[in-house]
Amino acid sequence: MGDEPFATALRRAGKVYVLADLHDLDVARQLLGGLFLNAQLATRQDVIAKQPDLAARMVRVLRRTLQWIATHSPEEIAARLDPPDRATLIALLKRYKAIYSPDGAFTEEQIRTAESFFHFTHATDPAARSLRFMQFIDHRWAGLTQR
């Protein structure tokens, strides 16, 4: 599994091949039944309990970054990052920018799809199959959206 722009660079170099491109929201819905929870901030409850300000600060940084991405063009994003292959990054952002949450909030669809995938891949483990992802999410900072 790989994320962009690294997946494209590895494919162009002939080092990998694509089985499924889950950056494409239609492909993710077709193959997984919904949008996938691609990335998140994760920590233990004791860390949040001992350092709630740190957790809140990390979420604020991520949310500000995602809000900035949502309100800027692929060209503006590439200009700020100054990547080695600017043209590829711009092309990828034009194609896949919708994969990024505009505000950092989870959607029920993402949680449901990720949980279903996890349960499927742990079909023989009753403890894993009993896990419910909503139990792991602290909605104080990022929240849940219907988006």
Q: What DSSP state is assigned to residue 24? A: S
pLDDT given for residue 16 in this prediction: 93
Helix (H) or strand (E) holding 67: helix 52-70
Domain coordinates of the chain in residue numbers? 6-145
pLDDT, tens only, 72-103 = 999 999 999 988 889 999 999 999 998 888 88
- The per-residue pLDDT of the chain, averaged, comes to 89
Distance, CA of 9 to CA of 20 (rounded, Å): 16
- Cα–Cα distance between 137 and 96 in angstroms, integer? 26
- The pLDDT, as a whole number, for residue 146 is 64
Measured between alpha carbons, how far is residue 105 from residues 40, 83, 111, 136 in Å? 10, 27, 11, 14
